[in-house]
Structure 1
Amino acid sequence: MANNCLSQALLGTIKVSKAKLTWPVRLKICIEIARGLAYLHEESHLTIIHRDIKASNVLLDENFSAKISDFGLAKLNDEESTHIITRIAGTVGYMAPEYAMRGILSPKANVYSFGIMALEIVSGKGNNYTHNGEYDYLLEWAFILQEKGSLLELVDPDLGTEYSSEEALTVLRVALLCADAASKL
C-alpha cells in the first residue's frame, strides 16, 4: 500500500508519515477500522474473527484509508454459536484476556484489540508504552488517567492543539469501553 501500514506511519522512524496523521486522518482511520470490524462481525455470511487486529495489520492507501489485512489467523464462526474454544494465536498485548487465558474466542476479542489500537492512534504510542517506568501498558495508563479525569493527557503531543478535544475524548472513551467490556465475558 502507498502508505505502508498504520504501525509504520504512527510508530515508525519516518517522521514525514507521522506528520501526515493529522487528527482528522486519525479519526477517519479509527472509523474505517470500526466499520471493517462491523462488517466482519455482522454483515458477512459467517462471523469472521480476525484474532490479530493490531496497527501492523492495518494497511494505509494513498489517501490514508485503512484496510484490515493479514487474515492468516482468522476463524470463521457460524451464527448459532456465541464463541469458539481454540488454541491461542495472535499478538500479546492485543489479545482479550478471556481469549489469552482460556482460549475463548468471540467477536469481542476483535473489539478488545480495536480498543487497544484506538488508544495507540490517539496517543501516538505503542501498546507496550511505559509511562515514567510506572505502567506496563498503554491501556493501564489510560485507565489511570481516566480515573484522574485527565484522559486528554493521552493525546499525541505531536498533534499540538490541532485536534478536537471532544472527538478525542469520545474516541478514548470508546477505546476504554471496548477494552473493558470485551474483557468481561
Structure 2
Amino acid sequence: MGGPVTPGRDAAREAAERELSKPIYHENDPGLLQRAADRFWEWVGDLFDRASGSTPGGALGLVAVAVLLALAAAALWWRLGTPRRAAAGAGELFADGPRSAADHRTAAEAHAAAGRWTEAVQERMRAVVRSLEERTLLDPRPGRTADEAAAEAAVPLPAHAAELRAAARAFDDVTYGSRPGTPDTYAHLRTLDEALSRTKPAPTGPRP
C-alpha cells in the first residue's frame, strides 16, 4: 500500500478557504453598517491626525481653530437669521391671493388682539399697500415686494417716504429675517396706515 497522499499547496489553500467560508466562522462578524461606521471613524481619525500634524500647536491648535469657526458660524447665523420662505415668491408682499385693505386690517387687528405680533405686522403692511392700490396711488402688480411698494409709494407721497421705508424694512425683518414682531412695530404701522388714508397725493403734473 502507498503512503498517505499529501495535497498540493493550491489544493490545500482552496480547502482552507472553503472551510473558512462556512457561516459558523462568521457568526460574530460585525454587520455591514458597523463595518462602514468603523471605516468612517478610521478615516476621521486619520484626517484629524494629519490636520493636527500640520496645524501650529498640534491637536490643541486644531481644536482652537474648530471652536473659532463654530463661533463665527453661530454669529453669522444670529446676524442673518434663519432662512424662511426663501422660495415663497422671492420676497413678494402678497402670497395668498388678492384681498381688500379692509380684510387685511381686520386680520391684523385679530392677530394683534391675540398677541401674534409678527402676523399682525405682516397683515398691516399688506393693508397699507392694498389701500394705496385701491386709491390708484399704486398700480396693482403681482409679485411686488414691500421694498418696491415703499419706493413706488414715496413718489406720490413724498412726505411719508421715510415711514414707508421703515415699514417695508419691518415687514422684511419679521417675514424673512426671523425677527419677531412687537407691539411697538405694529403700532407704528397702524399709525402710518391711518395717516396715509388721510393724506392727499402730491401733484405730479407740471407747475403753472
Q: What TM-score results when the alignment is normalised by the length of structure 2?
A: 0.25
Q: What TM-score results when the alignment is normalised by the length of structure 1?
A: 0.27
Say which structure is richer in strand: 1
Say which structure is richer in helix: 2
If asked which structure has higher relative contact order (CA below 8 Å, sep 6+), I would say 1
